[in-house]
Amino acid sequence: MNWGKGIAITLGAFIIFITYMVIQQMSTNIDLVSENYYIDEINYSSELKAINRDRKFTSRPKVSQTENHLMIQFPSDYEMTDISVNLRRPNDKDADKMFTVEGTKIFLIEKEQLNKGNYQIVISYEIDDTLYIQKKKIVI
């Protein structure tokens, strides 16, 4: 075997590898976090302020898990309004869940409604017309 055949075989193997990688990447499903990410980016600074307000807040909602439920406990010493709970699944936007909470201090979500795996839970609420946002990563 001479140099020409070796170079041709190496070049052919490299072309096959690159073609395989291109086909693999083109068939991968990539979900955006948000369809309106430009608008969300503009509102990001106000979201950061709301997250920082929540971190400094002493009576934050508490997220815990039981065997069958995901439990969110809201403090009773403040009147929270416009409470929403958003469960975001990083690898599957079809598994995202959105809940509105009204009239309760303990909110339960049955684990049967959720796929097992990683979630980002986003709890947003208002106290005296001031927005607070809590973000936390959980595993179901």
Domain range summary for the chain, segments of one domain joined by + = 1-30, 37-139
Which one-letter amino acid corresponds to residue 16? I
Contact indicator for 82, 125 with CB cutoff of 8 Å: yes
What is the model's pLDDT at position 71?
93
Q: Which of 31, 34, 123 is nearest to 70 (CA)?
A: 123
The class of domain 37-139 in CATH terms is mainly beta
Question: What pLDDT is attached to residue 138?
Answer: 92
pLDDT score recorded for residue 1:
65
pLDDT at 37: 77
Task: Write out residues in the chain with pLDDT < 70, as ranges.
Answer: 1, 31-33
pLDDT of residue 137: 93
Helix (H), strand (E) at residue 37: helix 37-42
Distance, in Å, from the CA atom of 51 to the CA atom of 135, rounded to the nearest integer, reads 8
